[in-house]
Structure 1
Amino acid sequence: VLARGALLSGILCRVQGYGRDGRLRALQACVLFLQAQKLGLVVLTANVGDYDVLLQLIPAGRALFYRRT
């Protein structure tokens, strides 16, 4: 999961245009997404930008979005 997450986070960083500061956050999001997919779980997140891209790259994954009010 970690190796696939690192590869996926590299793609995510390039697509989203993240610099050094966003790399660790992208890696954590990707590893969480892949781990949830492996276990058959849904990720609950407010991070629509990253997870929208991840769902386009891996449509089998599942994420549920919420909005902070």
Structure 2
Amino acid sequence: MKGRVVGTYLHGSLLPKNPHLADLLLRWALERRGQDPALEPLDAAEEWAAHAVLVGRVPGGRLTREAGKKRALERG
């Protein structure tokens, strides 16, 4: 991520397995349209479970859900 550009080289479904990134992209889209970017909380238990599986596959544990979420929000 750089500014508001997101580049990936992933195979498979990116957004369902990264709910923090999906929320960030939705917030950017709403801001661009001049709408309130505040999102109502949703039950994303399945999405976070999928994310946890992916995080567990990262060698050396360099990525955590909270670290990824924090980075995405900071770069907002």
TM-score by length of 1: 0.33
More strand as a share of residues? 1
Structure showing the higher helix proportion among its residues: 1
TM-score, L = length of structure 2:
0.32
Please tell me whether Structure 1 or Structure 2 has the larger radius of gyration of its CA atoms. Answer: 2
